[in-house]
Structure 1
Amino acid sequence: MLKITPYLELDTEANHLVDHVNGKNISLTFSESAVLNCLLLSSNSVCSKDELLGAGWPDRVVATTSLTQCISTLRKKLDPYREVQLKTVARRGYQLHIATQSHVKMLAVNDAESMRAAIVDVSLVVKVSGILLALFLVLLVWYFSDYHKVSQKLSLWSADKRVELKIGGITGDARLLYKDDAPHLHPSMWEKHLDSDGDYLASYPGFNAFVATDGTNYSMAICPDSDKEQCSGNGLINITSVDSEPAGLNMKDFAELSKKMEQRIRYNRIMLPEGEEGVGALIEHHYHADVYFPVKGELLIRSDISMSLIYDSDTTGEFHSSTCITDEDCLTTPIKYKIRGKFKQYSETIDNLKIDAFQVSVQQKDLIKPERLNASAVPFYRDLRKRDIKDEELYFFRIYQDDKTAVWITPLFGQVTAWYKYDQVDI
């Protein structure tokens, strides 16, 4: 076999051309094969007519018209391969010219030498251009990927600080998460909404806490009945301020009031069935939290939040969320906002804090308008109305998880951080 290009060879024994790209053989006469072989061995040199006549018709005397006809036929058979040109050199003979660009043609070759030639023999400009184009395409795909979107969202947050808070009569250390443009990170931004009097948590040795701000809202997620490794899920406190003026929330009064509010009908309550272990074909990972929004001179607003994850692979599945809003005197009938969609989960870090980021593609939204709406609830209803119109993609960050609880940052009235109770339900 004599190689013409990385994808085209001359078989001088079988007298045909072998096209590896299209997987076919092109028949040649003995004279055509011999003349082409002679031209190939001349390595771009001019072959005289006598040389070619001697190669194509050995031990025979033929007219030059036989060679002319042979060259004409060869040109037709080589015509599909534009890189291979059989040229006439006036008064001297013929020359076979093979363009180096033939090496960049799409190959269907298993021959390692051909593959090497296709890569090595091209010009430096072609190589550099190919590499740059490949890098550009990779960057383009990455830029528009879901992972890049998640990375962009996470890049807005930092978690390199801790703050010391005094809550309910005891002092504790809290991990701080904040958006990089948040202007105020002093502990007073969370403490100022609480009445300093009272020892609501004095019976506890301490608490674990996460505090967060997106620059507008200031959230506290507190587990008072916990050790360093595990939160019991008892007595969770989730308070988010949505107003800069101190609310003056008394923790003892808050404890009694929140119990009354939580004893009312829970529109987001999920009844966990008692079944045999491992019976369910699917597992629902269910999270529930009550978040309170104190505003000075206004009724206390509670947001009853329920979220469920149902995995169909290690990192994807169905997402369900339901938010129910009421006030302390039930003057506002429940405002309910439901979301259903598909999620993708990514494991990331923010300043060495391991988190799970969930990108939710919203497929269905349902906002139930209340029959009655007081002044305290109006801003919350308006926010949900905007989300019902605009949200197509949402991002949820789980920043802590143990056997019974988890801490999430959710896109609700800005960004709200809360400590959730956690259960698994067989479906």
Structure 2
Amino acid sequence: MQPLTPYLALDNKAQQLLDQRDNSVIPLSYSEAQILHCLLQRPEAIISKEELLAVGWPDRVVALTSLTQCVSTLRKKLEPYPEIQLKTVARRGYELTISESSHVHMLAINDGRAIRKALVGVSWSVKLFGITLLTLLLCLWWYFSDAHVMLKHLHHWQADRQILLNVGGFHGMARLYHLDSVTSLHPSMWQKHLAPEGNHIEGMTHFGAFAAADGNNYSFTICPGADTGECAGEGIINITAIKAEPAGLNMQQFIPLSKQMEQRIRYNRIILPPAESNAEVTEHNYHADIYFPVAGELLVRTDLSMSLVYEDSDSGQFYFSACLTDQNCITTPIKYQLRGRFRQYHSEISGQPADVFQVTVTQKELIKPDNVSHSAMDFYREIRKHDIRDEELYFYRIYSDNKTAVWLVPLMGNIVAWTTYNQVSL
């Protein structure tokens, strides 16, 4: 086989051309095959008519018109391949030129040599243009990819400091997560919402803690005993301040009030069926009670639930539900639910490990309350905005153990919540 182009070859013995794109065959006469073979030995060189007559009709004496007719027939057979030109050079002979980069054709996948020749044969300017174009396309693909969008959101978060909190009369350090646009990060932005005269919790000795700030909300979460090991999932406190004015939350009163509110109304209670060895679905459920104290207002609570159902190692179905009530039950439940598909990324925030869940919302529902107290009206407005705008959301899991996990949740902006964890097999 003698290649003419990356996909066309001359089989001189069989007297035929083989098009490797579709394995079609173009038959040649003996003279046509010999003349083309001779021209291929010296591409772009002028071969005299006398030499071609001797090659095409050995041991025979033929008229020059035989050569002219043979070349004419050969040109017609090469017409489907415009990159191959059989030129007549006046009074001198014939010349074969092949432009390997003038036209783009499909290469035979199993013809490695043809592919290499096609790639190597083009000029450096064409190669440079191709590399530049490919690089540009890869950059565009990356810029608009989900992973890049996720990184842009992730890089707005920082976790480069800790703050000192006094909760229940005990001091502890809290890892602080904040958006890079937030400048007011003094511990007083969190501490001022706890009334110092009532800041006592019976039996409180030590706690693990996290805090967050997005510029509007200042939230913190504590788990008693978690600074010396895993959180047991008992006595967790999630508090978010949505106003700049000190909330004046009395912790001595708050603890029994929160227990009363949680026992009285719980809409996102997880039902744990008996374990089954042949379960078809595994639901990873996270639950938290989050409190929003505001000076002079009724205490508002969110009963929050999140569930992940993995379909692959890093993606699946996401379910979210938040129910708001106030301490006097004036506000009948404001319930916001959504579901969607998530993709999970393992990353870091300022060197701290973080699992990022990029959620594309496919369905959402807002159950409007019959009554909304003045204290809960701001929350209803914010949740109504979520119902209108939510299309893609980002949830960050910044800590997890066997029984609990800490999340940055896109609710009322961005807040931190320590959740209990249950695995449900269905």
Kindly indicate whether the alpha-carbon contact (under 8 Å) linking 1:225 and 1:234 is maintained by their aligned counterparts in 2: no
Matches within 5 A, 1:85-96: 85-96=85-96
Tell me which residue corresponds to 1:70: 70
Matches within 5 A, 1:337-352: 337-352=336-351
CA deviation vs aligned residue, 1:272-326 (integer Å, no higher than 9, x gap): 11234x3422111011101001111111110110111111111111111110000
C-alpha separation between the residues in 2 aligned to 1:42 and 1:426? 75
C-alpha separation between the residues in 1 aligned to 2:154 and 2:325? 31
Helix, strand or coil for the counterpart of 1:197? helix
**RMSD of equivalent CA atoms:** 1.5
Shift of 1:223: 0.5
Counterpart residue identity of residue 407, structure 2 = W
Tell me which residue corresponds to 1:237: 237
Tell me which residue corresponds to 1:326: 325
Q: Percent identity, aligned pairs only?
A: 55
C-alpha separation between the residues in 1 aligned to 2:347 and 2:303? 28
Helix, strand or coil for the counterpart of 1:183? coil
Tell me which residue corresponds to 2:295: 296
C-alpha separation between the residues in 2 aligned to 1:265 and 1:350? 36
- Which consecutive unaligned segments of at least 5 residues does structure 2 have? none
Shift of 1:202: 5.6
Shift of 1:102: 5.7
Helix, strand or coil for the counterpart of 1:163? strand
CA deviation vs aligned residue, 1:182-231 (integer Å, no higher than 9, x gap): 02111100001111124534623311001001111011011013244300
Helix, strand or coil for the counterpart of 1:70? helix
Shift of 1:103: 8.8
C-alpha separation between the residues in 2 aligned to 1:19 and 1:13? 16
CA deviation vs aligned residue, 1:205-262 (integer Å, no higher than 9, x gap): 3110010011110110110132443000111000001000001001111111111111
CA deviation vs aligned residue, 1:92-145 (integer Å, no higher than 9, x gap): 111101124169654225444433322223211111111111111111111111
Matches within 5 A, 1:15-414: 15-101=15-101, 105-108=105-108, 110-198=110-198, 200-201=200-201, 203-276=203-276, 278-414=277-413
C-alpha separation between the residues in 2 aligned to 1:208 and 1:45? 84
Shift of 1:74: 1.0
Shift of 1:9: 1.5
Kindly indicate whether the alpha-carbon contact (under 8 Å) linking 1:225 and 1:233 is maintained by their aligned counterparts in 2: no
CA deviation vs aligned residue, 1:140-183 (integer Å, no higher than 9, x gap): 11111111111111010011111111111010011010000002
Pick which of 174-183 and 3-12 moved more: 3-12
Kindly indicate whether the alpha-carbon contact (under 8 Å) linking 2:300 and 2:375 is maintained by their aligned counterparts in 1: yes
Kindly indicate whether the alpha-carbon contact (under 8 Å) linking 1:87 and 1:96 is maintained by their aligned counterparts in 2: yes
Helix, strand or coil for the counterpart of 1:94? strand
Shift of 1:27: 1.0
Kindly indicate whether the alpha-carbon contact (under 8 Å) linking 1:194 and 1:250 is maintained by their aligned counterparts in 2: yes
Helix, strand or coil for the counterpart of 2:290? strand
CA deviation vs aligned residue, 1:371-417 (integer Å, no higher than 9, x gap): 01111111111111111111111111111110100111111110011
Tell me which residue corresponds to 2:414: 415
C-alpha separation between the residues in 2 aligned to 1:210 and 1:366? 30
C-alpha separation between the residues in 2 aligned to 1:203 and 1:109? 74
Kindly indicate whether the alpha-carbon contact (under 8 Å) linking 2:83 and 2:103 is maintained by their aligned counterparts in 1: no
TM-score by length of 2: 0.97
Shift of 1:61: 2.0
Counterpart residue identity of residue 422, structure 1 = Y
Counterpart residue identity of residue 305, structure 1 = L
Counterpart residue identity of residue 378, structure 1 = M
C-alpha separation between the residues in 2 aligned to 1:17 and 1:93? 23
Counterpart residue identity of residue 114, structure 2 = S
Helix, strand or coil for the counterpart of 2:13? coil
Counterpart residue identity of residue 284, structure 2 = H
C-alpha separation between the residues in 1 aligned to 2:91 and 2:327? 107
Kindly indicate whether the alpha-carbon contact (under 8 Å) linking 1:104 and 1:119 is maintained by their aligned counterparts in 2: no
Kindly indicate whether the alpha-carbon contact (under 8 Å) linking 2:100 and 2:121 is maintained by their aligned counterparts in 1: yes
Counterpart residue identity of residue 3, structure 2 = K
C-alpha separation between the residues in 2 aligned to 1:323 and 1:281? 26
Helix, strand or coil for the counterpart of 2:302? strand
Kindly indicate whether the alpha-carbon contact (under 8 Å) linking 1:169 and 1:198 is maintained by their aligned counterparts in 2: no
Helix, strand or coil for the counterpart of 1:255? helix
Kindly indicate whether the alpha-carbon contact (under 8 Å) linking 2:169 and 2:199 is maintained by their aligned counterparts in 1: yes
Counterpart residue identity of residue 366, structure 1 = E
Shift of 1:75: 1.0
Counterpart residue identity of residue 387, structure 2 = D
C-alpha separation between the residues in 2 aligned to 1:282 and 1:113? 51
Helix, strand or coil for the counterpart of 1:53? helix
TM-score by length of 1: 0.96
Pick which of 402-411 and 191-200 moved more: 191-200
